[in-house]
Structures are given as C-alpha cells and as structure tokens.
Amino acid sequence: MTNKTYVVLARMQLKPGIDEKQLLAASDEFERDFVKKQQGITKRMLLRGKQGSYADLVFFESKADFDRVAKIEETSEECARLFAIMEPPDPNLPDMGVHGFEHVKTYE
C-alpha cells in the first residue's frame, strides 16, 4: 500500500514590531478558524528557526488535499489575517518559498 502523505514547509519572517506572542495568538486563531475545518490536513506544526525565522510544517493526506486547501487559502480571510503579520515572501523564490514533499518512507 502506497502512503500518499504530502508535507509542506512554509517559511516565514515576522514583520517588524510583531513578536512571538502575537504570532502564537494569530497561529492559534488560524488553526481554530481555518485549519481544523479543512478536510485532508492531518497535522500542523509551528517551528522556530534562527534569527526570528519561523516555519509552518503541515501534513496532508495527499497532494490533492494540499492543492485543494491551497486554492481555498487564496481567498480566505483567516489566511489573510495570519499572513498580515508576516513579511511578504520573495516573489523571486520558486513557489514563493513554500516547499512540498511526497512521503517516501518512514523510519521508526
């Protein structure tokens, strides 16, 4: 049986004046008002990197689920509120810095 899990890593940088406490509040609201309502999302993790960088790591049941949710995000007010506290992604980056990965194998 083939595992069709699709994982997306979306890097983000907060706008000046926005701190982690504000990010956590916005992320919690996004989780409650958007993510939990989307079929096909199995898990979401907010990650902290170096020098104030963050990333969302989102697990989808399939690439088709990711594609569907990504389309909904384009017009979602909940997404717009979260994105409003982030620096816009570099338009020169492929896929604007969002990286998708197909599951190949799990080691436990």
Structurally, the chain folds into a number of domains equal to 1
CB of 4 closer than 8 Å to CB of 67: no
Residue 74 lies in a domain: yes
Average pLDDT over residues 2-27: 92
CB of 97 closer than 8 Å to CB of 10: yes
Residue 108 lies in a domain: no
Model pLDDT for residues 31-79, shown as the tens digit of each residue: 999 999 999 999 999 999 998 899 999 999 999 999 999 999 999 999 9
Residue 107 lies in a domain: no
Residue 67 lies in a domain: yes
Q: Residue 71: which CATH number?
A: 3.30.70.100
Domain hosting residue 51, numbered range: 6-102
Q: Which residues contact 80 (CB under 8 A, 6 or more apart)?
A: none
Q: What is the pTM of this model?
A: 0.89
pLDDT of residue 2: 56
